[in-house]
Amino acid sequence: MKTDGPAAPRPTDGKSAETRDGKATDKAAELKAAEARKAGRRAREVTIKGIAISPGVAIGPIFDVDAAPAAAPRRTITAAKVEEERGRLTTAVATSRKQVGKLKARLAILPEEAQEELEPLLDAYAMMLGESRLIRGARKRIEAELLSAETAVSDEADAIAGAILAAKDDDKAGLRRRAGEVHEIARRLTRNLTQSGFRSFKEVPEGSILVAEEMTPADAALLDPSRIAGVATEEGGADGHTAIMLRALGIPSVLGLPGLTNALSRGDQAVLDGRAGTIVLRPGKEALAEGRQGIAAYAKERTRLGKLRRLPSVTTDGEEMELQANLEIPAELPLIAQAGAAGIGLLRTEFLFMNRQGLPDEEAHYEAYRQIVEGTDGAGVTIRVLDWGGEKDMEALSEGVEPFHAGPNPALGLRGIRMLLRRPELLEVQFAAILRVSSLGPVRVLLPMVTIPEEVREAREIYDRVVKRVRRRGVTLPEKLPALGAMIETPGAALAADAIALEADFFAIGTNDLAMYTLAVDRAEAEVAHLYDPLHPAVLRLIQFATEAALRLRMPVSVCGEMAGNPRLVPLLMGLGLRSLSMNASAIPRVKQMVRSLNVDDCARFARRVMEQSDPKRIQELVMGFVPGEKG
């Protein structure tokens, strides 16, 4: 039966409209409450822990900057477009080279330390924008895979960086730096290919703490340390070129701050502590007071440590300790000069083989060594010849040397002196350049990964041949030729130290590899990294054995691993008889401070007490509990 009028509404959920309206009202209220809670959270003080990069405390307003995207959608092309894409790439390369040139021209207005730090890096960028593997590989991908120029650049950069990072090398920091360089040039090329804007810091108000998701070394070069109070980023680590630049500029900085950009608003007040590796957003009265105290304390500390630079590294009873610096790339020279290092105790020469198409010739080696030797003002440089194995991605070597297989265990394969004796032409070129540069200042030669005396004997035979060859060329060499030393970085070398000492002129104990090989632990493997312990009694006994073997022959011996840069370990190392340490330049002032508080007899008694222990935990307790001046 049909009825007139509109049909009554029929709720589908069995509830009245009034109930549904009430629910909607409740939902709106909940949303408002959530927004209020979020606003409240953003108004509260928040502390984020990151990676300490450059010491100092900064208080100021946040100024966040965003970089233009440096990525482009993947795109393929037709065969007819290949030449057009190659042309686009050529234009982008030319534009990028001009930009790097402008950055280099800007160096004059930066502090001297920053100038010396950045110039070699920009030179490396310019090299990569030449006929490098990146550019050649991108061209090949355009032709063979029919990719757009930006996609080809991205793929080739990822392939190169991936190969670098996959290398089984104990120097993970160096690998990350080299991979970062490749990606930085790829980003610059992509921005120029897509005509995207670059980051600008002109609008940053004076006294601000600059915040970004990520910062490149080229970005850091644009910073004015007189205007920027501090730098904080969500990405980044302690070992990259950006970190080195920020330290050279002297800007308090913390990188690797998780969730930073989501936790702040532009204009928020913040307290940044570059030593503690923290940033406090919207600080309360207590945090602000602590920040002001930190600024005053850091100023006093800088004054005190600055005075140490000119003071001798000598114990309270007059025993001198030689404190030298490790150098991986020439860009670190300013940091070494600032730290007051007594020369370079370990110059790693692998940088000469990176990011280049062919093998460096004798002249390339000579020029690099000359720059470093002259930069140390006669303080002395120990040059470690190439430490390379088949697992490392060095294009110059892979193309210039007959390839060989790394095997399933590269760390135990053909590396260091083993590889150099198999390929003596590489060793001869380095020996010749080192001999030539020895007339400019004191240098020594260090052989990597020595395990048996025969390896030193064979290397010395090559060395003697090169000496005669260089003299026949009319090159004047110093009367006392550079000493030829051996790195002690395996248990076998340490236990054979008595025999190796009869062949070598000096020892350098590489504690990083020594601990790794002794304990069968790769620090880069998260599952076993906690087992890596340089204070394990087995490691300490090997250090003691090698040191005593050298001292019996009155032969120089040093430690050049991370142990050398830890002030807490200095009393133990001195007690074992060591009088020469080589470390990261930034560690030198505090190590010197420790040396100047010590007495040699106290250190010797302490070392005997430690060496009696068999429990690593007890050794750790003794080392951490040592107080200079205490007897026993």
Q: Which amino acid is at 553?
A: L
Q: For this structure, is 560 an active site residue?
A: yes
What torsion, rounded to 10 degrees, do the Cα atoms 281, 285, 290, 293 define?
120
- Extract the runs of DSSP E, i.e. beta strands, from 135-251: 208-212, 228-233
Q: In what order do the strands lie in the sheet with 208-212?
A: 46-49, 278-281, 269-273, 57-64, 208-212, 228-233, 253-255, 51-54
Burial of 482 (0-12, 13-18, 19+ CB in 10 A): buried
DSSP code, position 76:
B
Catalytic one of 241, 365, 536, 603: 241
Is position 512 annotated in a ligand binding site? yes
Is position 348 annotated in a ligand binding site? yes
Contact criterion met (CB below 8 Å) for 383 and 444: yes
Question: Residues with Cβ < 8 Å from 261, sequence gap 6 or more?
Answer: 64, 211, 213, 234
- Give SS3 for 526: coil
- Count other Cβ atoms within 10 Å, centred on residue 7: 6
Relative to beta strand 57-64, strand 208-212 is parallel
Contact criterion met (CB below 8 Å) for 221 and 245: yes
- Count other Cβ atoms within 10 Å, centred on residue 632: 7
Alpha carbons 581 and 590: distance in angstroms, whole number: 13
Q: Scanning the structure block, which residue is given the tokens 């930073």?
A: 260
- Give SS3 for 109: helix
Is position 37 annotated in a ligand binding site? no
Is position 26 annotated in a ligand binding site? no
Contact criterion met (CB below 8 Å) for 371 and 336: no
Alpha carbons 562 and 523: distance in angstroms, whole number: 13
Alpha carbons 309 and 304: distance in angstroms, whole number: 9
Q: Which residues are registered as beta bridge partners of 58?
A: 272
Burial of 343 (0-12, 13-18, 19+ CB in 10 A): buried
- Give SS3 for 482: coil
Contact criterion met (CB below 8 Å) for 206 and 142: no
Alpha carbons 326 and 560: distance in angstroms, whole number: 7
Handedness of CA 615, 620, 621, 627 (dihedral sign): positive
Contact criterion met (CB below 8 Å) for 578 and 545: no
Catalytic one of 365, 536, 560, 603: 560
Q: For this structure, is 241 an active site residue?
A: yes
The two structure tokens encoding residue 171? 């120097």
Is position 522 annotated in a ligand binding site? no
Is position 489 annotated in a ligand binding site? yes
- Give SS3 for 6: coil
Contact criterion met (CB below 8 Å) for 349 and 330: no
User: Which residue ranges make up the annotated binding site for Mg(2+)?
Assistant: 489, 513
Task: Kindly list the catalytic residues.
Answer: 241, 560
